[in-house]
Structure 1
Amino acid sequence: MWDWLVGLAVAAACVIASWAVLVLLARRLPPGLLRDLAAFVPDCLTAVRRLRADPRVPRPARVAVVLAALWLASPIDLIPEFLPVIGPLDDIVVIALALRYAGRQVPREVLLAAWPGEPRLLLRLLGPAGA
């Protein structure tokens, strides 16, 4: 039993450390694609938190973004987080799909107000208006 708890604590510490590295990279990198990619996961978490509390977001969209946030926080992943570069890939795909789904049900102004990062990244993810 004790080994299982130690393993769980180590896994949680690895996930928290990888998120801390992403936040640090997002603040330290010069503006550009690498900075946008490093800031994507922290920006998604902030957007999910804001969308969850917004009354203009319909229930199905709110459920989708909350489930995506739970997926992101879960230590169980399709691709392990400790793999460099591709570790957070499954998290990014799930968040992107949830935001696209929410983008069809929520006005763009609400999504853009909830997004703390570069708006062009979110607009590219959502695609053309009305699509």
Structure 2
Amino acid sequence: MTDSFWWDLLLGVGAALLVTWLVLVAVLVVVRPRGGLLAEALRLLPDVLRLLRRLAADRDLPRGVRVRLLLLMAYLALPIDLVPDFIPVLGYADDAIIVTATLRGVVRRAGLDAVRRHWPGTDDGFTALSRLCGLS
């Protein structure tokens, strides 16, 4: 095989990765919390992390929900972010946005009662979490 083939392959893979990253950033822009909700999300982060751990350990929840939560916690533990921190607004908010989107999916599959049962924070914190995630 020629060197041209390898360069074409490398450029194709690089272009595919770039397009995938741009799509993921666009999704983050669409599902991000509006207004002051993003600041609330960052303030609630310690309680949300405890909530994620408790939900992931609950054997009564569907396996798919627990797997999603474990994958989310692994992503949060990684030092590399989907959106680099130097990008305004989204750079620091990508974790909060991804957590919000995941919690919406957990509530759809497991129910709001499961999230409420495992919430470690105050009632006001749960109200803020509900508002942030668009939960009813």
* Residue in structure 1 matching 2:71, options 67, 71, 81: 67
* Rg (Cα) greater in structure: 2
Q: CA RMSD in A?
A: 2.6
What do residues 13-62 of structure 1 show as CA deviations (whole Å, max 9, x unaligned)?
xxxxxxxxxxxxxxxxxxx9797344322222101110011122111111
Distance in structure 1 (CA, Å) of the matches to 2:56 and 2:76:
15
Q: What residue number does 1:104 align with?
A: 108
Distance in structure 2 (CA, Å) of the matches to 1:115 and 1:83:
31
Offset of residue 67 of structure 1: 1.0
* Residue in structure 2 matching 1:39, options 39, 43, 56: 43
Q: What residue number does 2:120 align with?
A: 116
Contiguous gaps of at least 5 residues in structure 2: 1-35
Q: State the one-letter code of the partner of 1:116.
A: P
Greater relative contact order (Cα < 8 A, sep 6+): 2
In the TM superposition, what are the counterparts of 1:1-20 in structure 2 within 5 Å? none
- Contact kept in structure 2, 1:48 and 1:65, CA below 8 Å: yes
**How many pairs does the alignment contain?**
98
- Contact kept in structure 2, 1:80 and 1:87, CA below 8 Å: yes
- Contact kept in structure 2, 1:51 and 1:111, CA below 8 Å: yes
What do residues 71-109 of structure 1 show as CA deviations (whole Å, max 9, x unaligned)?
111111123357786543111111111111101011212
Q: What residue number does 1:10 align with?
A: none
Provide the secondary structure at the position in 1 that maps to 2:94. Answer: helix
Contiguous gaps of at least 5 residues in structure 1: 1-31
Change beyond 3 A, Cα 1:90–1:50: same
- Contact kept in structure 1, 2:50 and 2:120, CA below 8 Å: yes
1:94 aligns with 2:94: no
Change beyond 3 A, Cα 1:128–1:34: closer
Provide the secondary structure at the position in 2 that maps to 1:56. Answer: coil
